[in-house]
Structure 1
Amino acid sequence: MVLKIFFPQCCNMADSGLLIGHWLPGQDSAVVLAVVHYPFIPGQVKRYLSQLQNESRVELAVLGSWSMPKDGQEGMESFLKDLSTIFPQGRWLQLSREMGQRGFTCHVVQREGTLLGDEGDKCNGENGDGGRVIFIHYDQRKVMLSQLHTLEAGAGAGATVTGAGPSELRLVFSTVAQSQPLFHTDKYDDGPLKLTHWQSEGREGSIIVELAKQASVPLCLLLTWLLSLWTWLCGIRLLNLQPVRFVSSKLSTCVQLSYRTEHLQTVSSPKKALGHAEFMRKANIFVSFFVDVALGLLLISWLYQENRISLLANTLVPVADHVAQELQELLKWLMGAPAGLKINRALDEVLGRFFLYHIHLWISYIHLMSPFIEMILWYVGLCACLGLTFALSVLSDIVALLTFHIYCFYVYGARLYCLKIYGLSSLWRLFRGKKWNVLRQRVDSCSYDVDQLFIGTLLFTILLFLLPTTALYYLVFTLLRLVVVLFQGLIHLSVDSINSFPLFAMGLRICQPYRLAEGVKFRVLCEEPGKPLHLLMEINPLKFGSVLQWYRTPTYSCYPKDSWVALCKKLFVGELVYPWKHKSTKKTD
C-alpha cells in the first residue's frame, strides 16, 4: 500500500501546528488544506471545525501535526504528538521538517497510539502496512481556482463533466474547491486561531472588483426592467400577426435582436450561476456582447467620418444598375442561341420577356428609392451601436432586398423545372403500368386504357421537348442564387463566430492556463534512500481546440440542413434549397 499525502506548497515553511484536511473516501490518500499555528486551544479548534462543517461540503478534520522546529520550541514535537489522543482519527500523521532540508519526516500513528513503521526511525518513509509514503506537493491557489475537465467522446459545447465514478485526482480538486470557507481566515485576522493556506499572505481581492460587484446589482435591475419593457412591446398583438411574424422571422436583424435579448436576460438574471458551466456561459456571453458593441462603435466611428455614408449611397445605385444591365444582357443571350443549343423558340421568348419585365420593374423601384437611400443608410448605420453583429445582419438583409429579383427568378425557374420533372416521372410510371398511391405513399400497379396512354404519351413528348429550355433558365438562375447565398452565408458565419466564440474562456486559457485543466503531470522534487518520495503536481492546461469545444455558446446560427448528396438531389429535381436553417429548427425531409 502507498499512502499519498497531498501537501500544499504554501505550507512548506508554516509554523508548527495542526494539519487540517480531509481523508479521501475509498482512497489511501489525505489532502492537507491548512496548518493551524501554535499556540491554540484544542477546544477552539474543535469548535472551529464544527462550524466549518455547516459552511463547507467537505468533512474537515485534524489529520495530524506539523513540526517546524525553531529556537525555544524544543519540546514542540512531543507536545504535538500527544494531541493524537484529543483528536482521535483512524490515522494520525506526524510531519516534521528541519531547516535547510527539502524532505519531510513522516510518522503514521494508529488510533490506539502505537507508532507504526520502523519504531521511531524518523526517515523511514513507510506507513504502518509496510508501504511507502509519497508526498505530492501542489499549488493550492491553482488547484482551488482550476476546473478539471475530462474530454469524452461526443462531449458537446457546454457539456458537464461526467464519468463512471470520481477518480482520486478529481476528489483532490473537488476537496480543495469545496473547502473555500476554510480559506476565509488567515494568519493576519484577529482571532483565536492563526492559519496558513494559499491566501495567508492576504486574501485575493480588488477594490475595483468589489465596486463592480456593488454597481452590478442596480445595473442588472435596470437592465432587467428595460428587457421586460422590450418583451412587453414585442408581445403586442399587432406585432404577433402572421404577416409581421413571418417577415420578422426571415430578417436576420430581427433574429439577431431576439437572440441578443435572450442572452441579455440570461446575463442580467439575479440568480447566481449554479456550477462552473453556467458561470462560464454567462461570462462568455457578457464578454462577447461587450466586444461586439466595441467593434460596432468602431465601425460607426469609421462610417460617419469623411462623408462615407454619402459615398456609399452614391455607389449603391450605379452598382444596382450595373447588375440589372448584366442580367438583361444575360437574358438576351439566353433568348438567342446560348452556347449553340437548340431550344424551343416560343417558350424561350415567353420566359425571356417575363424575366426582362421583372428587371424593368426592379430598376424602376431602385430609381424611385434613390433619393432616400442616403437617409436610410444614415439611420440604418446607427444600429451598429448595438454591435457589429447587428451591422452584419443589416448588411445581409440589404443584400437580400437588393437581390430579391434574382431570388424571384430562381423560384420561377425552380417551380417550372420541378413541375416538368415531376410530370415526366408520373408519365413514366404510366408507361410502366404504375401509379403513385397517395394514401399508402407507395407505387402500385395500375391498368390504363388506350385513351389514357395516348394522352400520357402526348404530354410526355411535350414536356420532354420543353425541358431543355426550362432547365437552361433554371440552371442559370440557380447559379446566380447560389452566389448570393454564398455571400450571405459568409456574413452569417461571421455573425455566428462573434456570437458563439468563447472569448472569456480563451482569455482564461491564455492569461491563466491553469484555470482550465485537462489533467496533471508529476515531477520528482526529492528522492533520497529511506525517505519519503516528494513529487510536484503540475496542471496541464486544456488545449485551445478543447476550450472551443467545451465553451462554445450555442447560437441560433445557420447550419447545413442536408448532406451534399441530398443537396445535389434537391437541385437536380428542382426543389427549393435553403442551404442553412436555424439551429432550433427540427430537421424535416
Structure 2
Amino acid sequence: MVLKIFFPQCCNMADSGLLVGRWIPGQDSAVVLAVIHYPFIPGQVKRYLSQLQSESQVELAVLGSWSMPKEGQEGMESFLRDLSTIFPRGRWLQLSREIGQRGFACQVVRAPPADGEGDGGDGDGNGGEGEVIFVHYEQRKVMLSQLHPPEGAGGGGGGGAELLQLRLVFRTVAQSQPLFFIDKYDDGPLKLTHWQSQGREASIIVELAKQASVPLCLLLTWLLSLWTWLCSIRLLNLSPVRFVSSKLSTCVQVSYRTEHLQTVSSPKKASEHKSFMRKANIFVSFLLDVALGLLLISWLYRENRIGRLADTLVPLADRVAKELQELLEWLMGAPAGLKMNRALDQVLGRFFLYHIHLWISYIHLMSPFIEGILWYVGLCACLGLTFALSVLSDIVALLTFHIYCFYVYGARLYCLKIYGLSSLWRLFRGKKWNVLRQRVDSCSYDLDQLFIGTLLFTILLFLLPTTALYYLVFTLLHLVVVVLQGLIHLSVDFINSFPLFAMALRLFQPYRLAEGVKFRVLSEEPGKPLHLMMEINPLRYSSVLQWYRTPTYSCYPKDSWAALCKKLFVGELLYPWRHKGTKID
C-alpha cells in the first residue's frame, strides 16, 4: 500500500507544530495545508478547526506532528507524539526533518487502543503502512488553479482514479482559503505557517475597484431596465418593425450587447469558475470593444475624413451602377459569342436597366444628406467597434440592395424553370410528385396532357440558357457582397466571442488554467520516502478557446458546402443575414 502525502513547499522550513489538513475520502492520501506552531492549547486548536469547517465546508483535522530540530526544543518530538491521544484519528503522521538534508522522515502511527496502552506503531520508519511518497506542491498555484479534464480522458481505470484524486486535492486547497487568513505575525493564540505566512496579499486598487463596482452596477442595471422598457413599447413590437430589426446587424448587435451587460451587471455573485470566467471575458471584451471604437472615432473626426468619405461614396456608387449598366448591355448582345433568346434577353435587360436608373436617381437624391448621416452614424463607434462594423455591414447592404434585387429576380426565374423542367421530365416517364406522401408515384397521362407537357418542356428548355446566364452573373455579384458582409460579421463575431481574459490568464499566469500535472523527482534515497514535485501543466491555447469562448450568434451558413452548392444549382435563395437557428418560412 502506498500512502501519498501532499505537502506544501512553504512548510518545508516551518517550526515544529501540528499538521493541519485533510484525509482524502476513498483515497489513501492526505493533504497538508498548514502547520500550527508551538506553543498552543489543544482546546483552542479544536475550536479553531471546528470554526474553519463551518466557513470552508472542508473537513479539516490534525493529521499529525511536524518536527524541526532547534536549540532548546530537544523534547519537542516526544511531546508532539503524545498529542495523538488528544487528537484521535485513524492514523497519526509524525514528520521530522534534519537541517542540511533535502528529504525528511515519516512515521505513521495507528490510533491508540481504547485503554490508551501502546502507541499503535511498530517502530519502523513507515509505521507498517508500506511505502510513503511525499508530493510537494506550491500552495498558492494549486489554490488559484482550475483543473480541466484532459482531452480523451476516460472515466474508468487507474487514470480516472488518479484524476479524481487530483481533483479532490485541488478542491481541498481551493476551499481552505479561510485557513490562510491567519499568519504567524498575527496577534492571536495560534501561529500558522502556510503560503501567506509572510503577510496576506492585498491590492488597494482591487479593493477600491470592488467598492466602486457596486454603485456602477446599480446604475448600469437601472439604465438597462430603462432600455428594456423602451424596447418593450408596443409600437416597436409590431411585425414590420420586428422584421426589419431582425435583419439589421446593428439591431442584432444592440440586443446582444444588452444581454451581455445584463450578465455583467447582475448582482448575483459568480460562485462557479465558469460563470466567473464568462463575466470576466464579457467585461474585458466590452472594454476592448469600446477602446477600439474610441480610437476609430478619433481617427474619423480628424482632418475632415468624414467629408472626404462622403465625397468618395457617391462617385463610387455611380461607378458601380455604370459598371452594372455596361454589364447588362453586354448581356443584351451576344455575350462570349453565345446565341441567346433575343426577346427574353431584351425584356430582362431593359427590366434590370430600369432598376439601375431608379437606383442612380435615389443616390443623387440622397447625396446632399450623406455627409450628415455619416457624421451622426460615426458617433455610434463610441459604443464599440462592433457597432461601427455592424453599421458598416448595414450600409453595404443598403448600397448594394439593387444587386440583391437582381439576384432575387434571376434566382426566382431560374428556380421556376428548373422545377418546371424537372416536373415535366417526370411527366415523360409516367411519374408525378405526390404532395401528401412526399414521394414520386406512377401516373398515367392521356395524349393531350403529353402534348401540352412536351410543348411547355421545349419552351422552358430553350429559354433556360438565357435565364441561366443572367442568374449566374448576378449570383456571382451577390456572392461578392455576401463575402464582404461575411468578413465584417466574422470580425464582429471574433470580438464578441474571443475569451481575452482567459487568454491573458493563460499567457501571464499559466497555472491558473490547468490541464493536468506532471511530477519531478526531488529526492530518492534508499530507506527513505520518495519526494516528488508536482508541477501544473497549463491548458493549451486551443483548449482555452474551446472552453471559454463566449456563445454568440454566428454568420456562418447553417448548411454544408454540398447543400450550398445544391442550392446554387437549383436556384434557391441565399440569405446573407441568416444565422444559425433561424428559420425562413
**When the two structures are superposed, what TM-score results if normalisation uses the length of structure 2?**
0.96
Q: Is the 8 A contact 1:561 1:579 kept in 2?
A: no
Q: How do residues 182-331 of structure 1 correspond to structure 2 at under 5 angstroms?
A: 182-331=179-328
Which residue is 2:88 aligned to?
88
Shift of 1:164: 9.1
**Is 1:380 matched up with 2:377?**
yes
Which residue is 1:546 aligned to?
543
Q: How do residues 492-503 of structure 1 correspond to structure 2 at under 5 angstroms?
A: 492-503=489-500
Query: Of 365, 373, 397, which residue of structure 2 is paired with 1:368?
Result: 365
Unpaired runs of 5+ residues, structure 1, are 156-162
Q: Residue 61 of structure 1 aligns to which amino acid in structure 2?
A: A
Question: SS of 1:35's equivalent?
Answer: strand
**Is 1:464 matched up with 2:458?**
no
Which residue is 1:150 aligned to?
149
Question: SS of 1:62's equivalent?
Answer: strand
Q: Residue 180 of structure 1 aligns to which amino acid in structure 2?
A: Q
Which residue is 1:24 aligned to?
24
User: Matches of 1:349 and 1:154 in 2, distance apart?
Assistant: 67
Q: Could you tell which deviates more after superposition, 226-235 or 518-527?
A: 518-527
Q: Residue 59 of structure 1 aligns to which amino acid in structure 2?
A: E
Aligned in 2, Cα 1:54/1:117: closer, same or farther, shift over 3 Å?
closer
Query: Of 500, 513, 516, which residue of structure 2 is paired with 1:516?
Result: 513
Shift of 1:117: 7.1
User: Matches of 1:154 and 1:172 in 2, distance apart?
Assistant: 18
User: Matches of 1:305 and 1:13 in 2, distance apart?
Assistant: 63
User: Matches of 1:293 and 1:170 in 2, distance apart?
Assistant: 39
User: Matches of 2:329 and 2:578 in 1, distance apart?
Assistant: 35
Aligned in 2, Cα 1:165/1:464: closer, same or farther, shift over 3 Å?
farther
Which residue is 1:72 aligned to?
72
Shift of 1:2: 1.0
Which residue is 2:423 aligned to?
426
Question: For each residue in 1:465-485, what CA deviation from the matched residue of structure 2 results, as whole angstroms up to 9, or x when unmatched?
Answer: 100000000000000000000
Shift of 1:15: 1.1
Q: Is the 8 A contact 1:97 1:103 kept in 2?
A: yes
Question: For each residue in 1:346-368, what CA deviation from the matched residue of structure 2 results, as whole angstroms up to 9, or x when unmatched?
Answer: 00000000000000100010010
Query: Of 439, 443, 449, which residue of structure 2 is paired with 1:442?
Result: 439
Which residue is 1:39 aligned to?
39
Shift of 1:188: 2.1
Q: Residue 319 of structure 1 aligns to which amino acid in structure 2?
A: L
Query: Of 526, 529, 533, which residue of structure 1 is paired with 2:526?
Result: 529
User: Matches of 2:162 and 2:20 in 1, distance apart?
Assistant: 26
Aligned in 2, Cα 1:240/1:457: closer, same or farther, shift over 3 Å?
same
Q: Could you tell which deviates more after superposition, 52-61 or 343-352?
A: 52-61
Shift of 1:116: 7.0
User: Matches of 1:558 and 1:177 in 2, distance apart?
Assistant: 40
Q: Residue 81 of structure 1 aligns to which amino acid in structure 2?
A: R
Which residue is 1:160 aligned to?
none
Shift of 1:185: 1.6
Which residue is 1:5 aligned to?
5
Which residue is 1:158 aligned to?
none
Q: Is the 8 A contact 2:558 2:579 kept in 1?
A: no
Q: Residue 68 of structure 2 aligns to which amino acid in structure 1?
A: M
User: Matches of 1:334 and 1:115 in 2, distance apart?
Assistant: 103
Q: How do residues 65-144 of structure 1 correspond to structure 2 at under 5 angstroms?
A: 65-112=65-112, 119=123, 124=125, 126-129=126-129, 131-144=130-143
**Is 1:487 matched up with 2:454?**
no
Q: What is the percentage of aligned positions where both structures have the same residue? A: 86
User: Matches of 2:567 and 2:150 in 1, distance apart?
Assistant: 38
Q: Is the 8 A contact 1:559 1:580 kept in 2?
A: no
User: Matches of 1:536 and 1:561 in 2, distance apart?
Assistant: 49
Which residue is 2:338 aligned to?
341
Q: Residue 436 of structure 2 aligns to which amino acid in structure 1?
A: L
Q: Is the 8 A contact 1:137 1:535 kept in 2?
A: yes
Q: Is the 8 A contact 2:150 2:516 kept in 1?
A: no
Q: Residue 278 of structure 1 aligns to which amino acid in structure 2?
A: S
RMSD: 1.7
Question: For each residue in 1:477-531, what CA deviation from the matched residue of structure 2 results, as whole angstroms up to 9, or x when unmatched?
Answer: 0000000000100000111110000000000001100000011111111111211
Question: For each residue in 1:527-586, what CA deviation from the matched residue of structure 2 results, as whole angstroms up to 9, or x when unmatched?
Answer: 112111111111010111111111011101222211111111111100002367323436
User: Matches of 1:546 and 1:579 in 2, distance apart?
Assistant: 30
User: Matches of 1:342 and 1:430 in 2, distance apart?
Assistant: 29
Shift of 1:166: 6.0
Q: Is the 8 A contact 2:24 2:31 kept in 1?
A: yes
Which residue is 2:404 aligned to?
407
Q: Residue 58 of structure 1 aligns to which amino acid in structure 2?
A: V
User: Matches of 1:269 and 1:529 in 2, distance apart?
Assistant: 58
User: Matches of 1:581 and 1:361 in 2, distance apart?
Assistant: 28
User: Matches of 2:169 and 2:302 in 1, distance apart?
Assistant: 58
Question: SS of 1:559's equivalent?
Answer: coil
Question: SS of 1:150's equivalent?
Answer: coil
Q: Is the 8 A contact 2:555 2:577 kept in 1?
A: yes
Shift of 1:169: 1.0
Question: SS of 2:109's equivalent?
Answer: strand
Shift of 1:70: 1.3
Question: SS of 1:396's equivalent?
Answer: helix
Q: Is the 8 A contact 1:19 1:66 kept in 2?
A: yes
User: Matches of 1:164 and 1:409 in 2, distance apart?
Assistant: 64
User: Matches of 2:207 and 2:127 in 1, distance apart?
Assistant: 47
Q: Residue 78 of structure 2 aligns to which amino acid in structure 1?
A: S
Shift of 1:412: 0.1
Aligned in 2, Cα 1:304/1:17: closer, same or farther, shift over 3 Å?
same
User: Matches of 2:371 and 2:480 in 1, distance apart?
Assistant: 26
Unpaired runs of 5+ residues, structure 2, are 155-159
User: Matches of 2:280 and 2:190 in 1, distance apart?
Assistant: 37
User: Matches of 1:54 and 1:290 in 2, distance apart?
Assistant: 39
Shift of 1:442: 1.5
